[in-house]
Structure 1
Amino acid sequence: MPVRLRKFIGTIAIVTLVIVYALTATMLATVVLDGRSPVAALIYFVLTGLLWIIPAMFIIKWMAGPPADRE
């Protein structure tokens, strides 16, 4: 796969990941954090704010993979 196409697909995947993840984490927060303390909310949002990095890291690793051989 050409590098430019791989980076384009990876960029679309990361943007989609961030949007879907943010909406899911926010909807889940309304259910999980209903009536909880502000400390619990802080812990939840810190963890979910950092958790999206793991799948994004795999996408970025794929994007930066070895270039396609041109023969």
Structure 2
Amino acid sequence: MMRARTRKLIGTVALIIFLGVYAWVAAVIGAGRISLAPAWAQFAYFLAAGLLWVLPAGLLIRWMQRAD
């Protein structure tokens, strides 16, 4: 069984790495093919990309906050 302190350390490191990689991938996609798309498609992409990270981050934070 993992202690809460260990879960928080692992979760924090994983969250920082995940957000960095996610932001980089979203920016590469946004600067590439999406820049040639119509304005409504760009808006939809950036809206979805801006909100999609919340689901995995929330699950990770919920796991970090679990009681011992």
Q: Which residue of 2 aligns with 1:22?
A: 23
* 1:35 Cα deviation from its structure 2 partner: 1.6
- Conservation of the 8 A alpha-carbon contact between 2:35 and 2:42: no
Q: Which residue of 2 aligns with 1:65?
A: 66
Partner secondary structure for residue 57 of structure 1: helix
Q: Which residue of 2 aligns with 1:53?
A: 54
* 1:25 Cα deviation from its structure 2 partner: 1.1
Distance in 1 between residues matched to 2:49 and 2:33, nearest whole Å: 13
Stretches (4+) displaced over 4 A: none
Structure number, greater radius of gyration: 1
- Sequence identity (%): 36
Partner secondary structure for residue 5 of structure 1: helix
* 1:29 Cα deviation from its structure 2 partner: 2.1
TM-score computed with the length of structure 2 as normaliser: 0.85
Higher helix share: 2
Q: Which residue of 1 aligns with 2:33?
A: 32
Q: CA RMSD in A?
A: 1.3
Count of aligned positions: 67
Partner secondary structure for residue 66 of structure 2: coil
Partner secondary structure for residue 65 of structure 1: coil
| Residue segments in structure 1 that go unaligned for 5+ positions in a row | none
Deviations for 1:5-24, whole angstroms, at most 9, x for unmatched residues? 11111111111111000111
